Amino acid sequence: MAVASPNSLRVAAAQMTSVSDLAANFATCSRLVKEAASAGAKLLCFPEAFSYVGTKDGDSVSVAQPLDGPIMNQYCSLARESSIWLSLGGFQEKGSDPTHLCNTHVIVDETGKIRSSYRKIHLFDVDVPGGRVYKESKFTEPGKDIVAVDSPIGRLGLSVCYDLRFPEMYQLLRFQHEAQVLLVPSAFTKVTGAAHWEILLRARAIETQCYVIAAAQTGKHGDKRESYGDTLIIDPWGTIVGRLPDRLSTGIVVADIDLSLVDSVREKMPIDKQRMPIDFWKAASL
């Protein structure tokens, strides 16, 4: 078993190709949890839609369950059995009416208890150039709250996939909610991922001076959908410290997080003190 050095906190991020079969995806996740635990990771992050990817738009509404339902309970047991924290990004949570779900990022601790959950705020209603048209809002209700939560690897700022394109949310996670590690579980499209994925993630890490952990779906989910992959772990200076390239399908990548690097980057480049208050910009734009 690998042993992490004394100051560092070992984390893992998973890459997988989820399909429209809850049991098959659970078996994959279960294997990856065991791998991460034996590598000494304290937290394993899964990608958006880890437990289910439908074959057509809106399919996932039919598998939506509340957070205290049997599917999430199973994943909580995995955390408890391997004594590891889990980031379960993009769970199909039952919505407030039968035609909608919430795309919910759930944080489970090593005893299997749900510590926090965040509902995706920015929905992917996009006509992908050279790709297809997505309309996530047709079957998803957006969240309203920004969420950060303490964990053994620092204060986690929660988000999901398309949120990545809206930097003001990450500014709030860093400067109002004091996040140290940003989690961005994703299922990026092949086209947009190739153009934007790495550069957006590194930009978020640099401008917030946070670690970023971005677990990704990869490969073909049936014959309609294909995800970009390239799971990344990035440090607060913007350096990539862990990567699972797109050509590698299912697996985990492990990295050691050092929170003193967060402190030293922030101390040497004190953007928290140098940035202008929102009132300055309101006046400046008159």
Ligand X SMILES: O=C(O)CNC(=O)[C@H](CS)NC(=O)CCC(=O)C(=O)O
Active-site position among 29, 120, 141, 226: 120
**Is residue 198 annotated as a catalytic residue, yes or no?**
no
Kindly list the distances between the CA atom of residue 188 and the CA atoms of 26, 150, 230, in Å, as whole numbers in the listed order: 21, 27, 10
CB contact burial 251-274 (16+ within 10 A = b; e otherwise): bbbbbbbbbebbeebbeeeeeeee
34 is catalytic: no
| 121: three-class secondary structure by DSSP | coil
Examine residue 50 and tell whether it contacts ligand X (CB under 6 A). Answer: no
Q: Does 183 bind ligand X (CB under 6 A)?
A: no
CB of 277 to ligand X, least distance (A): 30
- Number of neighbouring beta carbons within 10 Å of residue 4: 16
Specify whether 48 is catalytic. Answer: yes
* Secondary element (H or E) of residue 221: strand 218-221
User: 76, 102, 161, 210: which one is catalytic?
Assistant: 161
Q: Which listed range, 8-16, 183-191, 202-210, 274-282, lies at the site for ligand X (CB under 6 A)?
A: 183-191
151 binds ligand X (CB under 6 A): no
Q: Binding to ligand X by residue 136, rule CB under 6 A?
A: yes
Q: How far is 262 from 41, CA to CA, in rounded Å?
A: 19
46 binds ligand X (CB under 6 A): no
Tell me the C-alpha distance between 177 and 225, whole Å: 35
Closest approach, Cβ 286 to ligand X, in A, equals 33
Q: How far is the CB of 192 from ligand X (least distance, A)?
A: 3
* Per-residue interface string for the shown chain with ligand X, residues 188-227, x marking contact by CB under 6 A: xx--x-----------------------------------
- Whole-number Å distance between alpha carbons of 244 and 228: 11
Residues of span 112-131 touching ligand X by CB under 6 A: 124
Asked whether position 15 contacts ligand X by CB under 6 A, the answer is: no
Catalytic residue among 45, 48, 136, 226: 48
Beta bridge partners, 106, equal: 88, 117
Exposed / middle / buried, residue 27 (Cβ in 10 Å: 0-12, 13-18, 19+): exposed
Annotated catalytic sites, by residue? 48, 120, 161
Residues at the contact surface with ligand X, assessed by CB under 6 A: 48-49, 53-54, 60, 90, 124, 134, 136, 161-162, 165, 187-189, 192
